[in-house]
A and B are shown apart, each in its own frame.
Chain A
Amino acid sequence: MPETTLRAERLGKRFGGLRAVADVSIEIKRGEIHAVIGPNGAGKSTLINLLSGELIASSGEIKLGEADITTLAPDKRARAGIGRAFQKTTIFPRFTVHENVRLAAQARSRAPLKMFGGAFADPEVQRRTMEAIGKAGLAGREAIVANVLSHGEQRQLEIAMVLATSPSIILLDEPLAGMGQAEARSIIALIASLREHHAVLIVEHDMDAVFELADRLTVMQDGQVIASGLPQDVRLHPAVRAAYLGNHGDAA
């Protein structure tokens, strides 16, 4: 059995009178890709934001291993091992590919805020940078300024940055959004390769990709989990068919 790495229990988030997420429990394990699907407004992005710390839960708790991280700030969660890619690609656009990834590796180095010695001095940071660039398929593109990369390459870069922080958990919010077929294929292959060393949570609308990637599947609607389990079981769940897949039956 794979170890549990991130566990949320009875998580809730209210925005004034709006209940965005209610009573959501989810487990993400190392060696697994856990996909979360659901119609727009189901609370998927809110869930990711609760797990990454951009939002603080109104109720429930989140545990990373044995540690309670429910109220931890996003930077502290990142240092604890949670890496995330955003729905809208979030990189340092004016920096080169190498700089982007090196900053990520620096953030998790022993002295991320050292005030003397060049930023390029730490060989361990340099090693992790090149390793992450290689894993994400950007070798040879190090010197290119991020904002001239294609949309797909920017996604790869964001994943490279996440990898350079050596996370135990990776949260991916719609990694395939706005991508062409060929680009999507390479990102899907990249995500599949993350399974080996990380626990991955992915929110995605592309059902083909979801069923190709997911080891576990959770379906949300109106802020609640309506089904969770192995993809083949969840797919047959009547509530799921009615609520979500029913509308996309052919695609699924």
Chain B
Amino acid sequence: MTKERASPIRTTVLPALILAVALALPFLVPQYYVQFASKVLILGVLAMALNLVVGQGGLVSLCHAAFFGLAGYVLALLSPKYDPASLLLTLPAAVIAAGAVALVIGALALRTRGVYFIMVTLAFGEMLFYLFHDADFAGGSDGAFINAKPELVIAGVRLLDLDKPLVFYFVVLAVTIGAVGLLTMLVRSPFGHALAAARDNERRARALGFPIFRIRLIAFTLSGALAGLAGYFAAIQFGFVAPQMLGWHQSAVALVMVLIGGLSTVTGPLIGALVLLGLEEVLKATFEQWKLIEGIIVIAIVLLLPNGVRQLWPMAVGEADPKPARDDKVAPSPARAPETGHA
């Protein structure tokens, strides 16, 4: 009774349809849009990673771009000047570096609460931004080029050529599917439920015996590592890293994606990334003052759809008129909401 509010259409048919479209996309649209789709997926992974701590953990972090950018810089620094780096070496290095920095920042920032947590994460993010901005080892404010994209070579055979937009797209799609799978597993696990419990009532969760600090630190570290995974592929896509990749503006963009897509589901932020980047794409081509219009639309979405654009789906298909469907007594619990979506 607490569970099944979502119809089978939403739980199986729709994801299968979206996956089919994602797989067929490169064969249907011009290359520009394949690259655009890769960018959406990469930033979607960043937003989904951020939502593990924001949505499930109730911790608003403003330093996730730092993990994202740091992983990009790790790739740039490990890449030989003209030769391709090894994917098998640089990918784990970038993800581990992002996770390790998240562990250190989390260990300090998670001693604070609420708005102080936001400010402390912002401060740490800016410290990393200025480290790369002011120091010469990675090109300073000019950033650094990645001249050759990393390659996957096993036993002398080159398995992936990330220079090809098509190959790159499918690799990023696989990474995205993996991230969705990992995050879904996490939020449904005892760990994910404990994280949500700590979000809803920290005092009670602690009195039950949950080690709150440890739970949040693990979530923050995993989230940072996953943001690093996204940053690694962002750096490959653009062939370039710059301090702006680590700045608070990029963190805020990821947060806006989370808000647009909705906090309560794993894939919501991915949809948020699609909506925000799609909106930018359309508005840029049409209006000179596109940022102003984009801002107004984002505000409207956040005000009118507090659970994100996913709220539109039930309205669109008439699956559940939100009012009669929300019987307050049997509303799905938030811990399970990530699996079933909002009724």
Contact = CB atoms under 8 A, between A and B. Distances in A.
Interface stretch (B23-31, B123-131, B203-211): B203-211
Contacts, number: 121
A122 to B, nearest CB: 8
B201 A113 contact: no
Nearest to B336: A99
B118 to A, nearest CB: 22
Interface in A132-188: 142-145, 148, 161, 165
A13 to B, nearest CB: 19
A115 B186 contact: yes
Contacts of A117: 189-190
A1 interface: no
A98 B203 CA distance: 19
Interface stretch (A36-44, A83-91, A198-206): A83-91
A52 B206 CA distance: 11
B203 A119 contact: no
Range for the number of chain B residues in contact with chain A: 35 or more
B211 A94 contact: no
Given A143-B1, A145-B328, A113 B190 contact: yes
A203 B204 CA distance: 19
B190 A119 contact: yes
B190 A104 contact: no
Interface in A94-135: 94-96, 98-99, 103-104, 106-109, 111-119, 122
A94 B333 contact: yes
Interface in B187-203: 188-194, 197, 200-201, 203
A137 B166 CA distance: 61
SS class, residues of chain B in contact with chain A: helix
A115 B191 contact: yes
B254 to A, nearest CB: 23
Interface residues of A, number: 41
Given A90-B201, A145-B331, A79 B209 contact: yes
B209 A143 contact: no
* Residue from the set B1, B186, B204, B207 with the largest chain A CB neighbour count within 10 Å: B207
A55 to B, nearest CB: 13
B23 to A, nearest CB: 27
Given A114-B191, A119-B188, A91 B201 contact: yes
A142 to B, nearest CB: 8
A53 to B, nearest CB: 9
Contacts of B186: 115
A98 B2 contact: yes
A92 B200 contact: yes
A96 B331 CA distance: 8
A89 to B, nearest CB: 9
30 contacts: A75-B206, A75-B209, A78-B209, A90-B204, A90-B207, A91-B204, A92-B197, A94-B200, A95-B333, A99-B2, A103-B335, A107-B208, A111-B190, A112-B194, A113-B191, A113-B218, A115-B185, A115-B189, A115-B192, A118-B189, A119-B190, A119-B192, A119-B335, A122-B190, A145-B330, A145-B331, A148-B329, A161-B204, A165-B208, A165-B209
Given A74-B207, A106-B190, 17 more contacts: A75-B208, A75-B210, A76-B209, A92-B200, A94-B200, A96-B2, A104-B208, A113-B211, A115-B186, A115-B192, A116-B185, A117-B189, A118-B189, A119-B335, A144-B329, A145-B328, A145-B333
